[in-house]
Amino acid sequence: MTTARRLLAALRTPLGVLALLACGTLLFLTLFAPAIWGERAAVTDTTQISQPPSDEHLFGTDGSGRDILLRTLAATQLSVSMALMATVAGVLSGVLVGLLPLILGGRAGRWIVAGINIGVAFPGLLLAIAFSVILGQSGTAATLAIAIAMLPNYGRLTHNLAASVWGRDYISAARVLGVPTWQIVLRHVLPNVRDPLLVNAAITAGGALVSFAGLSFLGLGIQVPQYDWGRMLNEGVSRIFVTPAAALVPGIAIILAGLTFVLLGEILGKALTPDTHRSLSSRVLRRLRAQTAENETEPAGVPAPFAEDSVLAVRNLRVCAPHGRDDVRTLVDGVSFDVARGEIVGVVGESGSGKSLTLMSMAGLLDPSLHVSADAARFDGEDLTLRAGGHPASLDHHFGKRMAMVFQDPMSSLNPALHVGSQVAEAGLLHLGMNRREAREAAIERLEAVRIPDAERRYGQYPHEYSGGMRQRAMIAAGLMGKPSLILADEPTTALDVTVQAEILTLLRRINEEDGTAIMFVSHDIAVVTSLCTRVLVMYRGRLVEDISSEDLRAGRAAHAYTRALMDTVPTMTTPRGEPMASIPDEADFSGGGDGCAAGRAAGVEVVRGDADAAMRGDAERLDGDVERTSDPLVQEEKR
């Protein structure tokens, strides 16, 4: 969705409508109020001094007999325009100063950063008062003083944002190409930090308005005969017990104008921020629900019965995402499978085939913008209802006890600000009724169980003090706090080196054998999958195209053409070195299936199922006899 569309969508909300009305009113008063009411607001009437509210003067008159409401409306132009000028000057100067350390570098850049940090240490309003006294008592001096007070904060914000972008690869590529530093800053850095600066500037304008009114109230801003809200507030405070409206009305005007800029910042934030939590439109939702209702009424849509020994089962899982304004894209379509107790099931397929989405939907961890549905689903003997948002409420009490999740990146899976041990023990505190001492002891036992050395000392360490393999084992230990019946492992070895991969695979296999824990293992490495898993699910373009035992897969008995193509891309010890490695062309289309495929095609791609008996965990001994079929030499050595 483009920025313009996001802006229109934000303006359609109640907050957006309110912001639009407030900004429109403030803009109208700023442009036209002096021309409409300026002359009447300046008229003094000695016969109407400090009059209470009446039909002629809605909020009464001030000490000179002037209409308070008209003066407040006429003062809008000067108050708002000076605040906006101060904001523009402060933001531009702050951005320039914040980018200078990147352009200059070296000692000069460090001195600038040090000066920014010193300036941030002083309160902004205190700086504004100090510089206003130095520059003189006038509206222009007050504007410059506020801009100078804003400079350190925006300089620091810009520098922090720019520094986070400066280390990106595309910046390095531009430097290698010889692009001048100042051009890199303007063309590559500034566009990437622009949006948060604009949002903060809109919100800061409200603060500048209040600061400018404060300076005028202290006599450092607008001087007689001109007047703004701060000057009116100064004049009205001395007679607040005689004519309260003389101080209250301009005070309320300052508050409302400040809130208007805050609302504008909120709307800009929604419009400029990428829409990562976009939900489906009501029209698309109605269409999806109608399709689901039609499928449920058809006899062919009756889900197949669940196996009695299955710990996880799902029928006709579908995951849809917004695509355009009123369209939807199906990411996972008609996936059905069973995972038996104590079974290790692998899920393979190219990137974007829906492997991780399938696991995340069963764990209830999908983004709320995705629409999830299934004809039937069951976990650990309990029926689940998968709906939009992807999080069945009945699944909550299983987390930490009966279901565990191991993610791909162990560093991002652990909170860097908390001790590893406290994160492992958290499940015991939340779900198992343990006190802190019991949870600590159990967490240390789990860390020892996953072979983390000196677990008691490691309990109090942070994630950055762990190696990649130790962090992944700590994640597995956290999942084992409640003795889960199922572990969902989403590419747990991808971010690890080969030696650590073998350690993690050995750990998962041991957990499976000792505790009887079922595992769903997602990976791109088919050699690893065939060595660890007893059964493999092959996904292609969001559909499950084959359900085959690992033995049949290694023996080359795959029925679907896409599965055979995947196996052809796996190098083995017998692969000729002189021939180019096999690959799957981008234009290849396997939706037609392959030899041995079933005839019925409900969604355009059929599921080819292998021998169920060969997929059970009891055939693990047979896998050990087929070491020569595994291409990973470390796994071969580990098996021997």
The answer to whether the bond into 225 is cis (omega within 30° of 0) is yes
Render pLDDT for 125-179 as a digit per residue (tens, 0 to 9). 889 999 999 998 899 999 999 999 999 999 999 999 998 888 777 787 777 667 8
Residue 453 lies in a domain: no
Determine whether 535 is exposed, middle or buried from the number of CB atoms within 10 Å of its CB (0-12, 13-18, 19+).
buried
201 and 291 fall within a common domain: no
Q: What CATH number has the domain bearing residue 497?
A: 3.40.50.300
7 and 118 fall within a common domain: no
268 and 294 fall within a common domain: no
Distance between CA 95 and CA 85 in Å, rounded? 15
Distance between CA 399 and CA 431 in Å, rounded? 8
**Structure confidence at residue 566 (pLDDT):** 81
510 and 577 fall within a common domain: yes
The two three-digit tokens of residue 491, written as one number: 């590419």
Distance between CA 438 and CA 231 in Å, rounded? 65
CA atoms within 13 A on the CB side of 380: 18
Most confident listed range (67-81, 320-334, 437-451, 573-587): 67-81
Q: Is the dihedral of CA 605, 610, 612, 616 positive or negative?
A: negative
Confidence grade of residue 85 (pLDDT, cut at 50, 70, 90): very high
The CA angle 2-92-226, to the nearest 5 degrees, is: 110
Write down which residue in 158, 181, 209 finishes a domain.
Answer: 209
Residue whose C-alpha is closest to residue 356's, from 409, 403, 407, 412: 407
157 and 235 fall within a common domain: no
**Domain count for the chain:** 3
Residue 519 lies in a domain: yes
Instruction: Identify which has the larger pLDDT, 251 or 449.
Output: 251
- Is 637's pLDDT higher than 50? no
- Is 415's pLDDT higher than 60? yes
- Is 304's pLDDT higher than 50? yes
Distance between CA 387 and CA 372 in Å, rounded? 5
Render pLDDT for 260-297 as a digit per residue (tens, 0 to 9). 999 998 888 888 765 544 455 555 555 555 555 555 44
Residues β-bridged to residue 541: none
300 and 249 fall within a common domain: no
Range of the domain at 593: 279-402+484-640
**Structure confidence at residue 600 (pLDDT):** 30
Residue whose C-alpha is closest to residue 303's, from 287, 292, 290, 289: 292
Residue 9 lies in a domain: yes
Residue 454 lies in a domain: no
304 and 189 fall within a common domain: no
257 and 365 fall within a common domain: no
105 and 1 fall within a common domain: no
pLDDT (average), residues 342-365? 85
Residue 549 lies in a domain: yes
Of 146-160, 233-247, 280-294, 530-544, where does mean pLDDT reach its minimum?
A: 280-294
Of 255-264, 364-373, 518-527, where does mean pLDDT reach its minimum?
A: 364-373
183 and 242 fall within a common domain: no
Residue 13 lies in a domain: yes
% of the chain beyond a pLDDT of 90: 24
pLDDT (average), residues 420-428? 85
Name the strand (E) or helix (H) holding 62: none
248 and 331 fall within a common domain: no
Residue 449 lies in a domain: no
Confidence grade of residue 598 (pLDDT, cut at 50, 70, 90): very low
Render pLDDT for 370-402 as a digit per residue (tens, 0 to 9). 788 888 888 877 777 665 444 455 555 555 578
309 and 171 fall within a common domain: no
Residue 417 lies in a domain: no
